[in-house]
Structure 1
């Protein structure tokens, strides 16, 4: 019996420990406006909290999403993200917003958000969108028109492609104050320092010259 009692005690303590270390998805205060001054803040959820007595309405406001982003790049798209770094009042609230602008046939290349699910809303344009599941990598894809909504689950590779002959506009809500983004081609072929070419040659079954070309094309200038 003593042995059983001891095991029960260990199990209860382990369970209690797991509850203590579990992530709390909800803030435990009305707000925690982010501040960079560590001398006048309290550290919570990756940002320091501004003294509530010093908080103003401006901490909860952002202007500029009415302005189209610069799509003059190789892929013909631009993402204007409003996360906790641009809107301090988002800190601990678990949400952010983005405006996505596209040229005709502009593409938001395959990418992931490691910390957030994305809800994509089409305002103008016709989009081919999709995401790929974890192994065995099934593709879910659909053509969206004005007013349509599509959700990309957290962490999965996804894309948005404006297949129309007019400019495209969409807004996206993300379930994180700082969802992050990993653009697949840039991460694989443009990392700094670069991934050993032999790794990429074997992983993608490509010729060495092709790998070297891709690394040169995607490495930041």
Structure 2
């Protein structure tokens, strides 16, 4: 039975992401050209991932961690992805269970990761992604995992349970916004902020509303708050508590 022998050609001039259409003709020894074949199409996709990110360092801070890394030399680099995680396992073997990442521009080499500094050990990787969406970590499954222990900024005075005040603290450009729902029979509310120097919750403000903006909250640290409901007889409820980490 006759057998055919295949032929192939490579279009080295093709541009990534563009679909091209091709036809092929045959030439005999005299140079006569056959009719064109049926058209076929193809797209040249970039399937080369960026090189791995190097020089990753993680430094604990009063607001979480500062992550730094070397600039990646990949020519078509589109962004970095900082992925924090938690260490799983035991002394015999541990691994980093990664969270979804934070996308950062290709022109940056640092990230301020805010989290509650309560002494836990964390792990991080930094991934590189090119403009075709190729991820160094997803393609290779490899990345340098860096671990670091948080500072412990939590108050030494514990907050009792059972407060009618459901406090929410939110970082804002001008400070910290505190908000809570109205408490039945309350005539007002007392706001406290933890002072790490005196190791006590100190009175910050009294209000009859259900919100307060702490414009004096310094950046670059973590603030802890309590709010109590005040009653007509002069008593206060158990405090509701929350915290907020503020990057510089």
Please report the TM-score for the alignment, with normalisation by the length of structure 1: 0.28
Please report the TM-score for the alignment, with normalisation by the length of structure 2: 0.26
Greater helix share, 1 or 2?
Answer: 1
Greater Rg by CA: 2
